[in-house]
Structure 1
């Protein structure tokens, strides 16, 4: 986890630095002797700096999806069968990402290269595979605490957000949902041919790092008890938190 956190920080920082360098080169370093206009320079997606920015997106997604698969594997008790399909999606994304970088780096075409027929199938496949992987792994991660919590909920007359596993359920859902929604938006704007996909794809490089650290930060803030485990009465309603708690028995339905 520490290595992944450092990698994501380096990749996200490099992506920001590349964008800054690109903007400075075009709007500050561009002079009258340069034959390229500002628009042409921005659209030159085969330039080394644009190739590197695409590499940052592919690398950050590669690391983020790997961590998501690892979390799914841990949540399901290190059951390798659960993550076979996500791993296949992950490997397919990696292959499409490498082909995208190769075509972009070796192409002499300027302009809307990301919409060219030679590269569009790989980018589309890349987005579909990572989106499918995200939906699948997030669903599997959320299902695990829900499955554990369900017997406890069956003993309650009403649903409560203070059940022992509801906090984990909500945290798992919202941390994965941010990334998944971002991928849905990116896929939508790219398929309709809107130039907004440039901005969204750049934002996702940062969003992946945020969602990776969100669960760690949230759990760290909540683990205020000794040993990093929240006290049992922290899951109860305020008016019953200070009451005496009877030892759990089989008839109470507690797990």
Structure 2
């Protein structure tokens, strides 16, 4: 307990799934939380749950593909809590499909939601983190950012970009006591999972496709959102104070299978 006592954490994509689990966990561990999501009802509900449980949280509606929204996210976080100690850019969308099936709009959306949220979110947080003596930056990548994914190259490109961005930050801003890492989840049972599994129901049923994913995971099951939240808590806490530039698979062994 209290691993984030008196810290302020900003978590994008925290209206559901991994982000919502982490927002509540971070609060239980003592953090003040900025819940960030495009879905206003979902995000506000998570913030309300935290406040009702005795924590402190605000909600900010943000499209992580827009720099102006990300700047406003930072401004509202600083206005509410005066500082930001941890930034986890977790917002994301499901893969767009094979190269032959991907439109320019879908390609741009993959890079925008994933990479802009990391790049411009950190850009606007950077002066505040320097002023406060450092901080922790975390991005949700994917095993598809570590290994090529022909089933959705645009997603794989976007996630691998977050890995490089984290390492650029780790290398360039270690002098500012800023750490940066990524979590690379395998198949996680989140609200995105059904839409991902149901992309080609005429070719393969969602149930069969899910089972094929499970069979590829050495530990033999889907990952739960809470298990990603546990890894995020560790990387954002002082327990990981000398860990930076790391790409951490949380995948049941999938990346080595």
Larger radius of gyration: 1
| Bigger RCO of structures 1 and 2 (CA < 8 A, at least 6 apart) | 1
In proportion to residue count, which structure has more helix?
1
Is the structural similarity TM-score above 0.5?
no
TM-score by length of 2: 0.28
The structure with the greater share of residues assigned to strand is 2
| TM norm structure 1 | 0.28
